Structure 1
Amino acid sequence: MTAVGVIRGTTTDRRVVLPLLRRLRSPEGQANPLPVWDELRALGDVVPAPWGGYFVTGFDACNEVLRGRNWLVPDFAWQERRPDPARWQDPATREMTRTLSRLNPPAHTAQRRALGNLFDRGTLAELRPRVAAHVTRLLDRLALQLRVHGEADFVATVGDQLPIHTVGHWLGIPEGHYPHILDFTHRQVHAQELVPTKSELAVSAQATREMRAYFTGLLAYRRAHPGDDVLSGWIRFWDAQYPDDRAAADQTLYDLTMFITIASLETTATLLTNVAWFLTRDPARADWLRRHPEHVDDAIDEVLRYDPPIHLNSRFAAADTVLAGVPVAKDTTVHVLYGAANHDPRRNPASHVFDIRRKGGHLTFGGGLHYCLGSVLARLEARLLLTELLERFPTLRPAAAPTYANRMVFRRITSLKVTT
């Protein structure tokens, strides 16, 4: 026994997981990753990765990594200690390493304290009417497409659009800019794959240049035309923090604005589309939830548990340690597999059954210092969307299964055709 239970057949052959990783990226694995997660978990709670380091599959072991202070995110200091530092010099990789998701204390602590509770009750109360209006307008478009064409793409019409309208309005970004932001966000994310190809890194590098040009221009315009908005408030705050160093203020502002914007998009879009997919594919499930709206939040949590928008995240050991009975040396990377952890039957019995009333646990929003900043906003968007979707479209059904981008880290649904 270990701290997380019995390790079933922990393997020492790093090559064993290669076919499983290939399956996870295949069309079949994207459509149904559950068998792959099962097989990875069967290899043990801590499974050697082909390139060194480990995959972490068990719920308790993943939770320990996400919440433990002995586990840090791969920051610039860690990258510089790698035997292959050139691997980390790609522009898109370096751009994301400056963001909150790749900062450790004390830098992370300083930025989080400066931001405060971004989406506290007061902010959510102010945002709620606007998000509700976005939901109604987007569902009006969905209704029109269904009436005219008989079917519609939920992703293009609603799933991709609600997050950018929500965060865009909050930050005062012009609506005409939304398509451009979505475009470079979809392309930039390739650099965050575990082993990106040269062509993927080239696509991400170009997207990063476009992203930097856009947000740099946005901040320069807002600095010249300040108002009573979130972004203007950030500018005033960071200018005061760096009164004699405008470049440092601008860099911090860029990193925060860029990260909070793009981090709000793909993951929330995947959640929203999954909500539509899992809650309308079974008419009886949709009908039951329509009659029991008090379980809408439970349904959203089960969607988050069942199919997390992020397949994995990475940490490294701050010191020599032991994880689930496996010795892990300082600086060794571990990859937390959210889906495998969420489907661990030791935490969620009958884990492959989609059960709205499960009251189970999931790690989809992470944990500890890097718990998702926008989790409450994503829940608000999902709650308002699902509630109105069930009311307005009682016969909405998928016309076909979703299609997915060929990724292993950030899950993205590229299309979900629906009909009535």
Structure 2
Amino acid sequence: MTAVGVIGGTTPDRRAVISVLRRLRSPEGQSNPFPLYGELRTMGDVVPAPWGGYFVTGFEACSQVLRGRNWLAPDFAWQERQPDAERWQAPATREMSHTLSRLNAPAHTCQRRSLGNLFDRRTIEDMRPHVEEHVTRLLDGLDEELRTHGEADFATAVSEQLPIRTVGRWLNIPAEDHPLILDITHRQVHAQELLPTKSELAISAQATVQLRSYFTQLVQQRRANPGNDVLSHWIRHWDDQMPDDRAGADRVLYHLTMFITIASLETTATLLSNAVCFLLDDSTRWDWLRRHPDHVDDAIEETLRYDPPIHLNSRIAADDTVLAGVPVAKDTMVHVLYGAANHDPRANGDPGTFDILRNGTHLTFGGGAHYCLGAAIARLEAHTLLTQLLKRFPTLRPASSPVYAPRMVFRRVTSLRVTT
């Protein structure tokens, strides 16, 4: 075994773990899961899961898993080795296993290199004026709705619309298709939850068929009418890489385009809604940030720390190892709890306080080979939105508490009603 860290912990009662998980699924747990994450962390930095494997709760232990080369994504090869392989046969699960998030080297390395530095400084600067235009138009619509009805749902009117408009323009996806892609994404994500039900898997399966149909056709249409857009560049690259396997190239292109599109939607929308929610939760924060707009980026980082859009990710031990003093056998799955790690008081003092000037640390974008491809564009969208919002809506305030989807992995604010 190779020791990768010793942080310490206790041996928890299985019933205590189940109790925390049950409460995390409740409406109260969805609205504020962080005290429950703290309760789980008191059981240890590496806590046995009731069904096998482990939850990783401590910041340092989570960081080691995300960045360590001896921790792998749960790819097809791992799934086929499991005694309960049927559990991994759901269509949506298998479809996502072809995407970057579930690939390991060398396949992951090859696809990642084909993308280059996807959102480098030049690309971000090229996208900036378009993001600013999207934000202006969305806030025009918000202003009209507030004037007409007295309140509006910020989550549906703005947060969900900005990411699809941004990635849609970047990939040249027709605007009339944006509502369909959002709807499919909301339904497909069930399969990526921790313990999806059969009905949720059925919903995801139907959405997966629609995703495959839409993005396969998109690749075919772009191949027939190439332009100067990103997808056209990818087509040229993979045709060069696989000159004798056009069907294989198209499969890679489909999975890349589909994954990058849907991965950029709900996560960024949640970041945008969370930032507005936490700033409006205390009117002094909103007023202070209006007077100190140079700290908008600090507010974004604190939002990412305080309530990450993804609360859980999974990795597999490549070899027998030890994590935080706990022996972990090869092929064992561990669940990295971003929400618990970011609220570890050893990494961020007084973690339950939302502090714009914290200058803290977080693992929200992951680490290592699977570090989030879209981190820069998500930050650009959040910065642009908050900057304009603070100027245009000085008296904005919440009209009701935010409503969250009943999930444990992907956070989603389904409603955030605001007024002035």
Short-chain TM bin: over 0.9
Tell me the distance in 1 between the aligned counterparts of 2:136 and 2:328: 50
The question of whether the paired residues in 1 share the 8 Å contact of 2:396 and 2:418 is answered with: yes
Unaligned stretches of 5+ in structure 2?
Answer: none
Tell me the distance in 1 between the aligned counterparts of 2:251 and 2:14: 40
Aligned to 1:227: 227
Aligned to 1:34: 34
Q: What secondary structure is seen at the aligned counterpart in 2 of 1:414? A: strand
Tell me the distance in 1 between the aligned counterparts of 2:11 and 2:351: 21
Q: What secondary structure is seen at the aligned counterpart in 1 of 2:69? A: coil
Tell me the distance in 1 between the aligned counterparts of 2:121 and 2:7: 42
Aligned to 1:327: 327
Amino acid paired to 2:261 = T
Aligned to 1:88: 88
Aligned to 1:137: 137
TM-score (norm 1): 0.98
Measured after TM superposition, the shift of residue 9 of structure 1 is 2.9
2:11 is aligned with 1:10: yes
Tell me the distance in 2 between the aligned counterparts of 1:376 and 1:5: 33
2:205 is aligned with 1:205: yes
Q: Deviations over 1:91-136 (max 9, x none)?
A: 1001100000000111111111110000001100110000000000
Percent sequence identity over matched residues? 72
Q: What secondary structure is seen at the aligned counterpart in 2 of 1:360? A: coil
Q: What secondary structure is seen at the aligned counterpart in 2 of 1:409? A: coil
Measured after TM superposition, the shift of residue 294 of structure 1 is 1.3
Tell me the distance in 2 between the aligned counterparts of 1:62 and 1:380: 26
Aligned to 1:43: 43
The question of whether the paired residues in 2 share the 8 Å contact of 1:4 and 1:58 is answered with: no
Q: CA RMSD in A?
A: 1.1
2:222 is aligned with 1:254: no
Aligned to 2:389: 389
TM-score (norm 2): 0.98
The question of whether the paired residues in 2 share the 8 Å contact of 1:10 and 1:45 is answered with: no
- Equivalent residue runs for 1:20-419 within 5 Å: 20-419=20-419
Amino acid paired to 1:392 = R
Q: What secondary structure is seen at the aligned counterpart in 2 of 1:181? A: helix
Q: What secondary structure is seen at the aligned counterpart in 2 of 1:124? A: helix
Q: What secondary structure is seen at the aligned counterpart in 1 of 2:315? A: strand
Relative to 1, partners in 2 of residues 1:233 and 1:148: Cα closer, same or farther, differing over 3 Å?
same
Tell me the distance in 1 between the aligned counterparts of 2:358 and 2:8: 25
Amino acid paired to 1:117 = N
Q: Deviations over 1:180-207 (max 9, x none)?
A: 0000000000001111111000000000
Q: What secondary structure is seen at the aligned counterpart in 2 of 1:104? A: coil
The question of whether the paired residues in 1 share the 8 Å contact of 2:6 and 2:323 is answered with: no
Tell me the distance in 2 between the aligned counterparts of 1:289 and 1:115: 36
Tell me the distance in 2 between the aligned counterparts of 1:140 and 1:107: 44
Measured after TM superposition, the shift of residue 14 of structure 1 is 3.3
Q: What secondary structure is seen at the aligned counterpart in 1 of 2:372? A: coil
Tell me the distance in 1 between the aligned counterparts of 2:9 and 2:14: 16
Measured after TM superposition, the shift of residue 146 of structure 1 is 0.2
Measured after TM superposition, the shift of residue 6 of structure 1 is 5.2
Amino acid paired to 2:11 = T
The ranges of structure 1 where at least 4 consecutive aligned residues each deviate by more than 4 angstroms after the TM superposition are: 2-6
Q: What secondary structure is seen at the aligned counterpart in 2 of 1:322? A: strand
Q: Deviations over 1:371-404 (max 9, x none)?
A: 0000000000000000111010000011111101
Q: What secondary structure is seen at the aligned counterpart in 1 of 2:334? A: strand
Q: Deviations over 1:289-313 (max 9, x none)?
A: 1111111111100000000111100
